[in-house]
Structure 1
Amino acid sequence: MGTVFSFDIRDPRTPAIGAALRDAVAWLHHVDAEYSPYRPDSAVSRLARGEARPADCSPEVQGVLALCEDAARVSGGWFSHRPGGTLDPSGLVKGWSVEHASRVLYDAGARNTCVNGGGDLRLRGEAAPGTPWRTGIAHPLRPGALCAVVTGRDLAVATSGTAERGAHIVDPHTGAPATGPASITLTGPGLTLTDAYATAAFAMGEAARDWVESLDGYEAFAVLPDGRSWRTPGFPGQASPHRDPSGGDVSSWRAAGPPVAVRPG
């Protein structure tokens, strides 16, 4: 999928967990082969070229397209699996694939895991007994700095922005690059929709805050192009203002213990 995946398993290794890890890796390769818009033989590429119809595809592919349609409906069209008019469900597929890989590990007995797909994470259980996971979000305007630390158990974390890949998110209503915040991070109960909703929230810009607050179980933290930030009331963390070295006041997030640095996808 053109990005890096990693698995952090905090449970004692067992034969079942070892086999599940191999299955999860094989699953990700399957997803890449079936859904990559960069592989000419993938189902997505064949659909995009008009060589196949959704009805000709597997039930799995049809289910993914249905999930994309649901995300588009809930977001008022701000999420689109046809950005610029070309089929590309990547904005949902990456989170969906990580969610499934995490479930494969969970079903094998791995209850304390972090599966990371290009900076979007599915966290289960705890980092250590009595210690929640702590995930640092890279600051989009200050390389090497963190803008937020997400603390919690059993949640998904997805970030959309331009720091790593430039203006790659399209406004589906105009076809032009979206002019949203510098980055926006969403947390939610599962990564499939959290990832898709983070893309939608970035594309919708100023309207994102009210929209996320209307979603049950989802929270957001955004950094604006001028360095200011906002968060929804339930975003998991503790706000603490500090002085930016460039002279401006920004909001950061602090938590005890070393965070895992994550860059926006």
Structure 2
Amino acid sequence: MGTVFSIDLRDPVTPAVHRALKDAVAWLHHVDEVFSTYRPDSAISRLGRGEPVPERYGAEVAEVFALCEEAARTTGGWFSHTPGGRLDPSGMVKGWAVERVSRLLDAAGAHNTCVNGGGDIQLRGEAAPGTPWRIGIAHPARPGELAAVVTGRDLAVATSGTAERGAHVLDPHTGRPATGLLSLTLTGRHLTRTDAYATAAFAMGAGARAWAEALDGHEALGVTPSGEIWRTPGFPVA
């Protein structure tokens, strides 16, 4: 899907965990086949051109589209899987795929893991016994510096912004790049929705802080175009 995925295990790699790792990698390649907008032969690219897709992909595509529609309702239309009129559910798919991998590993006995999909992260358990995970948030205007360090257990962390890919998030209401923030980091329990909500909140710009403060189970940190950093009261900084 045009990005890098990594898996950090802090448990012994038993035969069951090893099998789950292989299954996880296979699953991510499958998700790429179905949903990557970088592949002209993917199911989502074919749907975008109005072409039929294999029936075996139907249930997964329907699940993701339902999640996208739910996110659109929750965010008041600030999340869209058709930004700029182009079919692109990537803002939902990456978090959905990462969370699925995290659950797969947990079921196999790997209870302390960090699954990272292009900087959007599902944390499970601890980094070490008695030690929470620590995740650095890159400062979008100061290369090599951190805006904050997030710390926690069983936590999802998603960042939308300009640091890696420039102004790539579109305002779904105008179809133009969102420019009201340099970055927006959202934390929650489950990455599927946290990732989608982070994309929406970034598109909101100046309205993101008030919206995030009213969003149950999530906290936010934003960096404004002037470099000012704000965060909601419960944001889990170290």
2:227 and 2:148 map into 1 onto residues whose CA distance is 13
Q: In structure 2, what is the equivalent of residue 79 of structure 1? A: 79
Q: What's 2:209 paired with?
A: 209
1:67 maps to which residue?
67
Matches within 5 A, 1:134-153: 134-153=134-153
Q: CA deviation at 1:52?
A: 2.9
1:21–1:105 Cα contact (<8 Å) kept: yes
More helix per residue: 1 or 2?
2
Cross-structure match for 1:197: 197
For residues 3 and 206 of structure 2, the distance between their equivalents in structure 1, rounded to whole angstroms, comes to 29
Q: What TM-score does the superposition give when structure 1 sets the normalisation length?
A: 0.87
Q: Which segments of 5 or more consecutive residues in structure 2 lack a partner in the other structure? A: none
Paired AA for residue 137 in structure 2: I
Contact 1:140-1:163 within 8 A present in 2 as well: yes
* Residues 1:119 and 2:129 are matched in the alignment: no
Distance 2:58 2:218 in 1: 31
For residues 235-250 of structure 1, what are the structure 2 equivalents within 5 Å?
A: 235-237=235-237
1:17–1:109: 8 Å Cα contact kept in structure 2? yes
Residues 213, 55 of structure 1: alpha-carbon distance in 2 compared, 3 angstrom cutoff: farther
Identity %: 73
Flag structure 1 segments of 5+ consecutive residues without an equivalent. Answer: 238-254, 256-265
Quote the offset at 1:163 in angstroms.
1.4
Distance in 1, matches of 2:56 and 2:122, equals 32
Q: Is the 8 A contact 1:54 1:62 kept in 2?
A: no
Q: What is the CA-CA distance between 1:39 and the residue it aligns to?
A: 1.4
1:55 CA drift (Å)? 8.7
- In structure 2, C-alpha distance between the alignment counterparts of 1:27 and 1:109, rounded to whole Å: 18
RMSD of aligned alpha carbons: 1.4
> Does structure 1 residue 98 correspond to structure 2 residue 125?
no
Contact 2:181/2:202 (<8 A) preserved: yes
SS across alignment from 2:144: coil
Question: Within 2, Cα distance between the matches of 1:188 and 1:180?
Answer: 22
Counterpart amino acid of residue 5 in structure 2: F
Q: Residues of 2 paired with 1:33 and 1:56: CA distance?
A: 12
Name the SS of the counterpart of 1:30 in structure 2.
helix
Q: Is the CA contact (8 Å cut-off) linking 1:47 and 1:54 kept in structure 2?
A: no
How many residues are paired up? 238
Deviation at 1:56, TM superposition (A): 9.0
Given the two structures, how large is their TM-score scaled by the length of structure 2? 0.97
Q: Secondary structure at the match of 2:62?
A: helix
